[in-house]
């Protein structure tokens, strides 16, 4: 079931990519114009682009191991920091909620690698909060987080606020980053990269402390 589900998602994903490229085909020959005109041209697109990008983010969330960052950054490029952030957050919430619903309905997802996250989260005082934090860490696939919430038997209704809270920071971060890349604002890009590295650093620290605590408990 999982392999069939993933193949269907990949086909839809490729079709959406082709549609998005086709819709932006005129932009590909526009890089000879000045920066102001380029920004105006890229951001002159409307509802079709919103639907395509939102669908891409939703689909990528449901594909195991697929990164959402390129598409959430693209939303910042195409729509700017505010609309891009709203698009990212809305798509992330819909994508994760839909994935959890599918997992419950069709029992999708079963891998030993997912037990590592499950094992750590189960030992937390507030596992839901731990999963919410996990959404903020780029190197943890959202598929694994949703799988873990499903294995812990959290209802979608009760877990939804944690999905929203967990996705707010990273949705804004990617959208602002995409906007900074388009405007060539290198200072903002450096700040955003520093924030991402800080988040990753905190994750590695947490992981190290967890392993230390676990080894001490076994002594």
For 83-118, the pLDDT digits (tens) are: 999 999 999 999 999 999 988 887 765 554 445 666
Residue 210 belongs to domain spanning = 2-217
pLDDT per residue as tens digits for the range 31-44: 555 556 556 666 66
Q: What is the pLDDT at residue 124? A: 72
Give, for 53, the enclosing helix (H) or strand (E).
Answer: helix 47-62
**Mean pLDDT computed over every residue of the chain:** 79
Q: What is the pLDDT at residue 18? A: 85
Q: How far apart are CA 125 and CA 36, in angstroms?
A: 51
The predicted model scores a pTM of 0.77
Q: What is the pLDDT at residue 164? A: 94
Q: How far apart are CA 40 and CA 38, in angstroms?
A: 5
How many structural domains is the chain composed of?
Answer: 1
Q: How far apart are CA 206 and CA 201, in angstroms?
A: 9
> Within 13 Å, how many C-alpha atoms sit on residue 140's CB side?
27
Question: Could you report how far apart the first and last alpha carbons of the chain are, in Å?
Answer: 42
Q: What is the pLDDT at residue 99? A: 92
> pLDDT under 70 in the chain at which residues?
1-2, 24-45, 108-119, 121-122, 202-219
Q: Which residue has the tokens 């209704």?
A: 157
Q: What is the pLDDT at residue 100? A: 92
Q: What is the pLDDT at residue 214? A: 55
**Is residue 52 exposed (0-12), middle (13-18) or buried (19+ Cβ within 10 Å)?**
buried
């Amino acid at each position: 079931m999982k392999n069939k589900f993933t193949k269907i998602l990949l086909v839809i994903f490729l079709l959406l990519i082709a549609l998005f490229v086709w819709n932006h085909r005129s932009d590909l020959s526009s890089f000879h114009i000045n920066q102001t005109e380029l920004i105006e041209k890229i951001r002159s697109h409307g509802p079709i682009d919103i639907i395509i990008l939102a669908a891409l983010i939703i689909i990528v969330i449901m594909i195991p191991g697929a990164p959402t960052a390129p598409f959430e950054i693209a939303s910042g490029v195409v729509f700017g920091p505010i609309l891009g952030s709203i698009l990212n957050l809305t798509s992330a919430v819909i994508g994760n909620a839909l994935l959890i619903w599918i997992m419950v309905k069709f029992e999708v997802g079963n891998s030993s690698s997912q037990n590592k996250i499950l094992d750590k989260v189960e030992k937390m005082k507030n596992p839901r909060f731990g999963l919410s934090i996990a959404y903020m860490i780029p190197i943890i696939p959202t598929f694994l987080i949703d799988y873990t919430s499903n294995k812990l038997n959290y209802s979608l209704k009760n877990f939804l606020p944690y999905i929203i809270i967990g996705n707010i920071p990273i949705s804004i971060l990617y959208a602002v980053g995409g906007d900074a890349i388009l405007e060539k604002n290198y200072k903002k890009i450096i700040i955003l990269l520093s924030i991402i590295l800080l988040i990753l650093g905190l994750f590695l620290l947490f992981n190290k402390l967890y392993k230390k605590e676990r080894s001490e408990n076994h002594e």
